[in-house]
Structure 1
Amino acid sequence: MFRPLFVFIGTRYTRAKRRNHFVSFISLTSMIGLALGVVVMIVVLSVMNGFDHEMRTRVLGMVPHATIVGDQPITDWQSLAAKVQQNPKVEAVAPFTQMQGLLTHDGNVQKVLLNAIDPVQERKVSIIDHFMLEGQLDSLTPGSFGIIIGDKAAKALGVGVGDKLTFVAPEVSVTPAGMFPRMKRFTVQGIFHVGAGEIDGYLGLTNLQDLARMQRWKPDQVQGLRLKFGDLFEAPRGAWEIAQHLGDSYYARDWTRTHGNLYQAIRMEKAMIGLLLLLIVAVAAFNIISTLVMVVNDKKGDIAILRTLGATPGTIMAIFMVQGTVIGVVGTAIGAVVGILAALNVSAAISALEGLIGHKFLNADVYFIDYLPSQLQVQDVLMVCGAALVLSFLATLYPAWRAARTQPAQALRYE
């Protein structure tokens, strides 16, 4: 197979001669450093993609994309929902009523946001069914005063399915005997696990009519409507437009007010961490400069002989560019393969390590999810590999240019 002279010699130089193992070692360390930089960058970007994906699908699949709330309890929510769904951006609508308070059981106390729902309508706007550990959403029937809580809240209260607990509302009832807090007994009908500490610990679900009775409303009255948009980034503007169309007695709220800062922080961290890791790859790539400078000094005699045989400065320059490029391509290829395998298995590996040492790296009390997600994206792999190859190629220019300037007479003077 025909190969140009500079390609043939450049690939031969990549395999150092027996008399100079140190140059071979430097070439190997440059290759390994570049490969490690690529591996780390692929894995970290995949983990950041995983956090971004879990934030959008899991957490924002549980919290409302947007809500429409009235100044007064809404009586005919069906007709209001029909008006809202005329907006083409809205995929589904469900009624809700919320009430904050405390859950108590056997001396244990846990704060809770009680979210009253219609189980049939809630499935259209929430993915809660995907995370049920025990019980079913349909068990929240009117008059049963059932409640579904997260596994973290269940553990804190020491309850399971079928147990009774007491909900204490932040209001008091005035009686002839004095003022007493409003309380109601609920039965645990189900337990869910989303993996987000904020949701698993402080969210409770009950039936709309049951909470309406506690609020002393009519059974068909609700606090507002929960909206699901086809594109959650359309929610802020879309909800505002809907509220404007409905009139001054309604106002809108969207997910950017509750979780927007967290989502923006994830996106910004991905960009900043990607930039920092790219600098690591750049350092590894520019180690090729020192490798090639040493090779040029080692091969001055060979360069002089090639020049006397008619090789042009351009040919000499191409030889060493080929050598540096081979180091960059091999290092990048090894790093890409190892990085892809690591990114695909990092979640399972961290989970196994947590089980082995008995320590949780991501505590749900601190982080919004309690596991390490990873989502490998082809464009990230291509971007990392492309950047590594470009930096490797740029690193070859100066040593190759220096080799091309070698004067045969001076190089052979002491040979």
Structure 2
Amino acid sequence: MSRHLLLYLLLGSLSACTTVAPPPISTTPAPASTPAVSSPTPTAASAPPPVVPVPQPPQPPVSTSKPVLNEAQGRALLDRLLPPRISDRQGWNNDIVTAFTALKIPYRADNFCAVAAVIEQESSWQADPTVPNLPAIVWEKIGERANKYLVPLPVVKAALLKTSPNGKSYKARIDNLRTEREMNLLFEDMSAEASKLGLPMNMKNPIRTGGPMQVSVEFAEAHVKIWPYPYQSGNSIRNDVFTRRGGIYFGSAILLQYPAPYQDMIYRFADFNAGRYSSRNAALQAAISQLTGRKLALDGDLLSYTGKQASGSTYQALLSLRSRLDMSQSAIERDLQQEKNSALAQTELYRKVFALADRQAGKPLARERMPQIDLHSPKISRKLTTQWFADKVNGRYQACMARQ
């Protein structure tokens, strides 16, 4: 078997195991969650790719009599909120408070509990969460690709007996994989040996998420370009994502460091899973669906492109409303391009759609709605949705808030 084909099988298989954002499913039981917004039956959809708007710390509630806490008070509050029996409790406290300080996120119970709930759901308070049956998942994917090219799996395994940079064979490392961090290091070693293995020198690492909050590597690498990173990066920002302090820092940023127009934290949890502003966008899709009578996937994905041409069912539905909106096609497309930013809510399109929909409904419609997205990954063995994720995290959040 050619060396190039072997590595193609391995790289493709690793990519197949890690291309979907949803992380290992925690086996820790969650408290009963509060009811989510009722919504239609889930429709299959892909979560939108991570984007990085300019970070803006969440603002405190407009009306509050509570004083702003200093760092020492924040640490004391967080200590009361953390679960009682977690390993290295002080270390978790320190990394969360350091992240909040650097990101300028207020020390408040709701913010602390939001981060704690995501950590508990995504990793059960493990700094480097394990993925159940990870070697079996990887070998299954390698086997599927090998069969496609009529290459027996034993032949592939024999070829992978080649020694890797850490002194172990690639086969032994796959057999003993436990975490995404280990998968990431495996790929990094292969990348370092690219010339020896006959691989492209500019190949991309397919491992996309990691750490105790399962944060996107792409988000982290973009975030440090526009916001000061508080730590000295040891190897790379990519590798920092797989550490506790880096994972908490970037996870806190993507969860909380943007202004969201939500009355309930559960919609931030949905956005964490589906992409920023997905809950706001799903509400806009529901309003468009009501106005047009068209059934739209309420997935928060407002605009896509076929080549350079704007497309998507939401976009097409809006074009049918041009006369009622008194907007041109180019103006509609212009406003939809703000779908991943807070600015969408200030656009002419957003205001006019909700004005028409509110009038038609005879009452103000919700400006937030649970995105209806099915989650797909080799690591997921049952039907899960963004609503399932948001509900589970929200249950943990409510339990944390009760510890005040």
TM-score (norm 1): 0.22
Q: Could you say which structure has the higher strand fraction?
A: 1
TM-score (norm 2): 0.23
Decide which structure has the larger Cα Rg and report it: 1
